[in-house]
Structure 1
Amino acid sequence: MMITYEWRGDFDNAALNALHADGLGYPVAATDWRARVGRHSLGWVCARQDGALAGFVNVAWDGGAHAFLLDTVVAPAYRSRGVGTSLVARAADGARAAGCAWLHVDFEEHLRPFYRDACGFEATAAGLIALRN
């Protein structure tokens, strides 16, 4: 199995919506990902096998030193094979090449081993305000 990775890789909305539904257990949405990343993202990384989208991560930014990982997803069939850590590593490379000094990520507690242990993120103090109930 040869997985390829591409910074700012081409994708279609239907494939990315299907990947998010499969990978995160959500119903298939009709999100216009191309418009969203075009407006708000420094870049993104697509993982593919034989042309099929196997994983994705979005890299938002503040236009300066800070980049933020969002929407990290790997199709269940490709998990536990290093695809997620490779997506994050390539996202970090893309943010570094763009001049960012920091890469941030927020995650749920069950993802701590992935982000902290496998990807090397350090713990930081942070805050959060819920804007919707």
Structure 2
Amino acid sequence: MKYVVRFPVDDRELSELHAAAFEGEAEVTAWGERLGRWALTWVGAFSDEQLVGFVQVCWDGGAHAFVLDTAVHPDHGRRGIGKQLVMTAAEEARQAGCEWLHVDFEPHLSAFYLDACGFRPTDAGLLKLR
């Protein structure tokens, strides 16, 4: 497995991975544009040149960064790819000067983020805007 930071994004390929990982439809999203504008960094996991995992980190330009869109293709799950993606992204955020890395996740992912990746639980709030 090869992990590549800030790799050149193919919108269709990343949209297909995202759809497979989140069991959605592969509607092509302008990932490259979005990442270039808003992300501090992103990391891809590649198996024989095929994108099989992805994570991005957005930030506030200061001390806080945020993990988003952690995705591993179901055919490559349970192999430590997601953990390595998050750990690589965390190191990139650390090197950029961030002090805190935040993540929101659904309850069924708590073992992954809390146990495997080392995040600690915190109180947080969420406001649905649409």
TM-score category (smaller protein): over 0.9
**Residues in 2 aligned to 1:129 and 1:4: alpha-carbon distance in whole angstroms:** 37
Identity between Structure 1 and Structure 2 (%): 53
SS in 2 for 1:18: helix
Does 2:80 match 1:105?
no
1:120 is matched with: 118
2:49 is matched with: 51
Gaps of 5+ in 2: none
Question: Which of residues 23, 46, 66 in structure 1 aligns to 2:64?
Answer: 66
**Residues in 1 aligned to 2:106 and 2:98: alpha-carbon distance in whole angstroms:** 24
**Structure 1 length-normalised TM:** 0.96
Runs of 4+ aligned residues of structure 1 deviating over 4 Å after TM superposition are none
**Structure 2 length-normalised TM:** 0.98
Gaps of 5+ in 1: none
RMSD between aligned residues: 0.7
SS in 1 for 2:9: coil
For residue 11 of structure 1, report the CA deviation from its aligned partner. Answer: 2.3
How many corresponding residue pairs? 130
SS in 2 for 1:20: helix
